[in-house]
Amino acid sequence: MNKDASKTDLSLFVASFRRWRYKLTYANNKCLFSYILLAVSLIRDAFEGKIQYLQIMDELGNVDSGLFPAELTDDKLVEMLKLMLLTRNADQKAVSLQRQGRSATYAPSLGEEAVNIGTAAAMRKNDIFVPAFRQHGVYFARGLPLHLFYMYWMGFEEGNMIPPEVRGFPMSVPVGTQMPHSVGMAFAQKYKKTGNAVIAYVGDGGTSEGDFYEAINFAGVWRAPLVIIIQNNQWAISIPRSKQTAAETLAQKALAAGIPGMQVDGNDAVAVYKATAEALKNAANGPTVIECITYRAGMHTTSDDPNKYRNAAEVEEWAKKDPILRMKLYLTKKGLWSDQIEAQAVEEQKKLIDAEVEIAEGFKPDPKSMFQNLYSFVPETLDYELKDSEANNFWQGE
Ligand SMILES: Cc1ncc(C[n+]2csc(CCOP(=O)(O)OP(=O)(O)O)c2C)c(N)n1
Ligand SMILES: [Mg+2]
């Protein structure tokens, strides 16, 4: 439950202490007074340098009812589980397509579904998200047609043209570069008084980039309506979290920028939801950093072999904390889930995935689109090359 793969008695004690502290401070926050208390408490914590840790659902699917968000109805919980399953099934298909030579290098999100679905479930209709490259579930939850996702990973940038109603930025592979953009976007919401907030995602490795520090600095200065989700999956390719920074938590980096920071069990979709929903409600007063502690259960990308640099025992330990497993255990106990319901959901999802892959594989790119989509207008030199190539019949037989 603590940030490191190897648990010690002390770290367990610290985690449970933080959890109780959170409980005392935030339970029953259903009225204005409690929100004021929450804001005051977060600011006080920031000054004192304290980092809260939140878990609501444990590995066996037991929940802390005092902390459970009342607005998470049965239907909403089932929908969240189905979306986590869709994310995992779509992910498996993407790996399989790459292995068959039908798609290019792919970055799986196996084991990290609760961060994506928990945060997306908390977003309000007009909030905007700014992902890195491992937030597939966020796109799905926000309604991205799956064929665009497959097209992108097949190498077609057209798949990264996100429909406006999804309200998400394109995927960003250069690590950390999405962060300054997210602050600008959040500041624009404040400036234009839209009332919308922005959620930005960054990996544990991404928090070592200059872009991350510059972004949190200005998010703090401008009190931008921004929620930064650190998707701490313990690895940045082959670099473990312990070699990434000497800081005890990644959340505490927020404090230097005058922003509250907290940790959440990132494999607990309910806790991720609650922390994100509270941060979004508080976004009009300024930004929050939430470090979601999860685990990259698979390879970094399909070009990577994690067996070369991490041991099987660590992977097995984290498998017990799987986010989908614990949600299933919880919903089964509540009588909301069964093997039969799951079989039907998976069958429907696989049909949808196959149909969307077919659309993606049928996509015929226009080679000349490379001239149109790189800049907002076509620069003179490119315009010359395009006209010259047309005059010389370069595109014959395209
Ligand atoms: C600026 C930059 N440097 C290096 C890389 C190569 N690279 C791709 S992903 C990655 C690790 C990112 O780790 P993290 O931020 O923890 O995200 P994760 O892959 O774990 O989701 C690196 C170094 C890159 N894409 N961009
Ligand atoms: Mg990482």
Q: Is the dihedral of CA 313, 314, 315, 319 positive or negative?
A: positive
Question: Average of pLDDT values for 10-26?
Answer: 54
Q: How many residues make up the chain in this entry?
A: 398
What's the gap in Å between 237 CA and the centre of ligand 1?
Answer: 7
Q: pLDDT tens digits for 90-108?
A: 999 999 999 999 999 999 9
Give the lowest-confidence range in 7-16, 104-113, 317-326.
7-16
Question: Average of pLDDT values for 148-158?
Answer: 96
Same domain? 195 vs 282: yes
What's the gap in Å between 252 CA and the centre of ligand 2?
Answer: 17
Q: Is 383 a member of any domain? A: yes
Write b or e for each residue in 29-40: b if 16 or more Cβ atoms lie within 10 A of its Cβ, otherwise e: beeeeeeeebbe
Q: What confidence tier does 76 reach under pLDDT thresholds 50, 70, 90?
A: very high
DSSP letters of 5-24?
Answer: SS--HHHHHHHHHHHHHHHH
Tally of domains within the chain? 2
Angle separating helix axes 339-361 and 74-99, nearest 10 degrees: 50
Angle separating helix axes 113-122 and 269-281, nearest 10 degrees: 40
CA 72 → CA 13, 22, 215, 337, distances in Å? 29, 19, 32, 16
Same domain? 37 vs 121: yes
In 3D space, the residue among 166, 139, 167, 165 whose CA is nearest the CA of residue 152 turns out to be 139
Domain that holds residue 15: 9-361
Residue nearest to atom 7 of ligand 1 (CA): 175
Q: Is 156 a member of any domain? A: yes
Q: Active-site residue 167, yes or no?
A: no
Q: Report the CATH number at residue 212.
A: 3.40.50.970
CA separation for the pair 158, 39 (Å, rounded): 42
Q: Active-site residue 136, yes or no?
A: no
Residue nearest to atom 19 of ligand 1 (CA): 236
Same domain? 126 vs 210: yes
Tell which atom from ligand 1 comes closest to the C-alpha of 296: 20
Q: Active-site residue 21, yes or no?
A: no
Q: Is 103 a member of any domain? A: yes
List pocket residues of ligand 1, CB cut-off 6 Å: 134, 173-175, 203-206, 233, 235-237, 296, 300
Same domain? 348 vs 378: no
Q: Is 4 a member of any domain? A: no
Q: Which of 113, 214, 232, 237 to mutate to test the pocket of ligand 1 (most atoms within 8 A of CB)?
A: 237
Residue nearest to atom 12 of ligand 1 (CA): 236
For 4: left if phi > 0, alpha if psi spans -120 to 50, otherwise beta; the answer is: beta
CA separation for the pair 150, 102 (Å, rounded): 10
Same domain? 344 vs 382: no
**Given the residues 300, 326, 375, 384, the one annotated as active site:** 300
Question: Average of pLDDT values for 292-319?
Answer: 97
Q: Is 366 a member of any domain? A: no
Same domain? 386 vs 274: no
Asked if pLDDT for residue 17 goes beyond 60, the answer is no
Same domain? 355 vs 220: yes
* Mean pLDDT, rounded, of the chain: 92
Same domain? 187 vs 335: yes
Same domain? 27 vs 141: yes
Q: What confidence tier does 24 reach under pLDDT thresholds 50, 70, 90?
A: low
Asked if pLDDT for residue 46 goes beyond 80, the answer is no
Same domain? 248 vs 393: no
Percent of the chain whose pLDDT exceeds 90: 82
Q: Is 122 a member of any domain? A: yes
Q: Is 2 a member of any domain? A: no
Indicate which ligand has the atom closest to the C-alpha of 299: 1
Q: Is 13 a member of any domain? A: yes
Same domain? 200 vs 319: yes
Q: pLDDT tens digits for 360-376?
A: 999 998 888 888 877 88
Same domain? 244 vs 388: no
Question: Average of pLDDT values for 61-76?
Answer: 98
